[in-house]
Structure 1
Amino acid sequence: MKVLFIVGDEYEDIELLYPFYRVIEEGFTPVIAGKEKGSKITGKHGYSVVADISFKEVNPEDYLALVIPGGRGPERIRTLPEVKEITRKFFELKKPVAAICHGPQILISAGVIKGKKVTSVASIKDDVIAAGGEYVDSPVVEDENLISSRHPGDLPYFASTLIKVLKKK
């Protein structure tokens, strides 16, 4: 019952930590993936986490869901082939994918956003639309296996929706 978090440097600290701890509270095991196993990944506000696994080691079939926190992290890792492949595979398997704030940048780079209803931080709204997504300005948007939210203020809606979906698995 593992939940994968893909994380890049300068992630938005609370957008990782809030759902990370909620997942634990509900009895699931969060796993942090980074560029290298054991590497320290530092958030925008100075909190650090250690990668449990490298992106190259991830097998999406081993996880219930994928969580993509925002901040600058998605921008830093969105072009990595393994990050795009992980994301595509979660969509192929129809497993839940939860992206908040700048997280949809990874969805855009992975080519999985076309035709999906999605929300994000306002500054990437045009990117979402250009990639074929239908932008919805709402605290949380669910479309099939995709859960998305706009910013840290939406975290209660984001996390509760993620937990609701995980409990159905």
Structure 2
Amino acid sequence: MATILMITGDFVEDYENMVPFQALMAMGHQVDAVCPGKSAGENIATAIHDFEGDQTYTEKRGHNFTLNANFDSVEAEDYDALYIPGGRSPEYLRLNTQVIGLIQNFFAAGKPIASICHGVQLLTAAGVIEGKKVSAYPACQPEVEAAGAEFVHIEMDQAITDSNLVTAPAWPAHPAMLSQFVKLFK
């Protein structure tokens, strides 16, 4: 079974954080959830994003999520794959040079990486998606294209794989994204 690193943070999208975390563990994989500046046993706040007929998603306070590993001790070499949830946490996590370095190390090693929704903000900041076909929440299209990737419009419940990278627009895509992601594990 694979050992997966999940980089998360305050106001991550609740479903995009909790559902893959639990589903991957239910499949027998080890998932280490980390957040810069926090340790195992500490909580992050989540946000619930929903599609209720407005021009964009709505946001409500979600659950507390307990981290199970320490960010300061993770090394890309210790993991088989990387999962990046969306929500609002990627917009500030992309400012952390250690987070960016971890992502770059996963890409350099060719390890499987999954990103959903606004998680692509971490990939664009890391400069690792040039030439790739990528999906994300539609509002992220300008960032994806500025990073030299092709933004692929797919339904909210679909995902796309380009070599070692699986991306999806939002939490309705969990079944497709997780299915494609675990197929990449060696």
TM-score for the superposition, normalised by structure 2: 0.85
Of 136-145 and 116-125, deviating more is: 136-145
Corresponding position of 1:149: 168
**Gap runs ≥5 in structure 1:** none
Q: 1:103 aligns with which of 115, 119, 140?
A: 119
Q: Percent identity?
A: 36
Corresponding position of 1:47: 63
Corresponding position of 1:58: 74
What whole-Å deviation, never above 9, does each CA across 1:6-64 have from its counterpart, x for those lacking one?
A: 00111111011111111112111110011121331110142222233333321111111
Q: Distance in 1 between matches of 2:19 and 2:89?
A: 16
Q: Distance in 2 between matches of 1:42 and 1:152?
A: 17
After TM superposition, the structure 1 = structure 2 runs for residues 1-169 of structure 1, keeping only pairs within 5 Å, are 1-35=2-36, 36-38=38-40, 39-45=42-48, 46-138=62-154, 139-166=158-185, 169=186
**Gap runs ≥5 in structure 2:** 49-61
SS of the residue corresponding to residue 86 of structure 1 reads helix
Of 65-74 and 16-25, deviating more is: 16-25
Q: Distance in 2 between matches of 1:12 and 1:140?
A: 17
1:156: Cα distance to partner? Answer: 1.3
Indicate if the aligned counterparts of 1:84 and 1:106 stay in contact, CA closer than 8 A. yes
More helix as a share of residues? 1
* 1:96 aligned partner, one-letter code: P
Cα RMSD of the aligned pairs, angstroms, is 1.2
Q: Distance in 2 between matches of 1:108 and 1:119?
A: 12
Runs (4+) of structure 1 moved beyond 6 Å?
none
